[in-house]
Amino acid sequence: MMGLRVFFQVIIILLLILFNGVFALSEIALVAARKNRLKQQADDGDNSAKKVLALQETPNNFLATVQIGITTIGILSGALGSATLSNSLGLLFIKWGINPSLAQQLSLIVVVVIITYFSLILGELVPKRIAMNNPEKLAQLVSGPMTFLSKISAPLVKFLSWSTNVGLKILGINESDSPEISEDEVRAMLLAGKELGVFEQSEHEMVEGVFRLGDRRLDMVVTPRTELDWLDLQDPLEIWDQVIFTTHYNKLPVVDGDLDHVVGVVSTRDLLVRRLQKRDFQLRDFIQPTIFLPESMPALDALNAIKKSSSKMAMVIDEYGGLLGIVTLYDMIEAVIGDISNADGEDLSAIVRSDGSWLVDGLMPIDELKNLLSVDDFSGEKEFGFQTLGGYVMAQMGDIPQTGAVLEVDGARFEVVDMDGRRVDRVLIYQSDSQSPQEGPEREQNVESEARSSSGNEEEQAK
Q: Does the structure show a pLDDT above 60 at 304?
A: yes
The average confidence (pLDDT) of the chain is 81
pLDDT in tens, 190-244: 888 778 777 788 787 888 888 888 888 888 888 888 889 999 999 998 898 889 8
The reply to whether 176 falls in a domain is no
pLDDT category of residue 101 using cuts at 50, 70 and 90 = confident
CA nearest to 251, candidates 239, 238, 264: 264
Predicted local confidence at residue 164, as pLDDT? 80
Q: What angle do CA 430, 432, 433 make, to 5 degrees?
A: 95
HSE-CB for 451 with a 13 A CA cutoff:
23
Of the candidates 294, 254, 255, the residue with the CA atom closest to the CA atom of residue 270 = 254
Do 196 and 164 share a structural domain?
no
Q: Is residue 342 part of a domain?
A: no
Q: Is 115 a member of any domain?
A: yes
Contact 64, 146 (CB under 8 A): no
Give yes or no for a contact between 346 and 339, defined as CB atoms under 8 angstroms apart. no
Domain annotation covers residue 89: yes
For residues 284 and 361, state if they share a domain: no
Lowest mean pLDDT among 178-182, 270-274, 278-282: 178-182
Is 419 contained in some domain? yes
Query: Is 178 within the bounds of a domain?
Result: no
Q: Strand, coil or helix: what is 446?
A: helix
Kindly state whether residues 237 and 205 are assigned to the same domain.
no
For residues 210 and 223, state if they share a domain: no
316 within a domain of the structure (yes/no): yes
pLDDT at 342: 47
- Domain boundary (275, 305, 337) is at 337
In a shared domain, residues 61 and 48: yes
Q: Are residues 234 and 203 in the same domain?
A: no
- Per-residue confidence band for 173, with pLDDT thresholds at 50, 70 and 90: confident
Q: Per-residue pLDDT averaged across 420-433, rounded?
A: 84
- Indicate whether 160 and 191 sit together in one domain: no
pLDDT at 114 over 90: no
Confidence tier at 441 by pLDDT (50, 70, 90): very low
When mean pLDDT is compared across 129-133, 217-221, 277-281, 354-358, the lowest value belongs to 277-281
**DSSP 8-state assignment for residue 166:** H
In a domain, 151, yes or no: yes
Paired sense of beta strands 251-255 and 231-232, if any: parallel
Domain residues for 441? 350-462
Taking the C-alpha atoms of residue 210 and residue 192, their distance in angstroms, rounded to an integer, is: 18
Q: Measured on CA atoms in the order 404, 407, 408, 412, is the torsion positive or negative?
A: negative
- The predicted pLDDT at position 256 comes to 93
pLDDT-wise least confident of 67-71, 140-144, 185-189, 452-456: 452-456
14 backbone dihedrals φ, ψ, rounded to 5°: -65, -40
Q: Looking at the structure, tell me whether residues 222 and 284 fall in a common domain.
A: yes
Instruction: Indicate the DSSP class of residue 280.
Output: -
Whether residue 5 has pLDDT greater than 80: no
Strands 262-267 and 406-409: unpaired
Q: Is the pLDDT score of 345 beyond 80? A: no
On whether both 103 and 164 belong to a single domain, the answer is yes
- Give me the number of domains the chain comprises: 4
Domain boundary among 313, 337, 361: 337
Output the pLDDT for position 176. Answer: 55
Last residue of a domain, one of 106, 137, 170: 170
Looking at the structure, tell me whether residues 388 and 414 fall in a common domain.
Answer: yes
Same domain, 24 and 164: yes
- 172 burial type by CB count under 10 A (0-12 exposed, 13-18 middle, 19+ buried): exposed
Q: What is the tens place of the pLDDT at every residue in 7-50?
A: 787 888 889 899 999 999 998 988 888 887 888 888 888 888 88
Q: How confident is the model at residue 461 (pLDDT cuts 50, 70, 90)?
A: very low
CATH of the domain at 437: 3.30.465.10
Cβ neighbours of residue 303 under 8 Å, at least 6 residues apart? 213, 329, 332
Task: Examine the domain organization and report whether 148 and 11 are in the same domain.
Answer: yes
Q: What does the DSSP assignment read for 362-428? A: TT-BHHHHHHHHT-S--TTHHHH---BHHHHHHHHHTSPPPTT-EEEETTEEEEEEEEETTEEEEEE
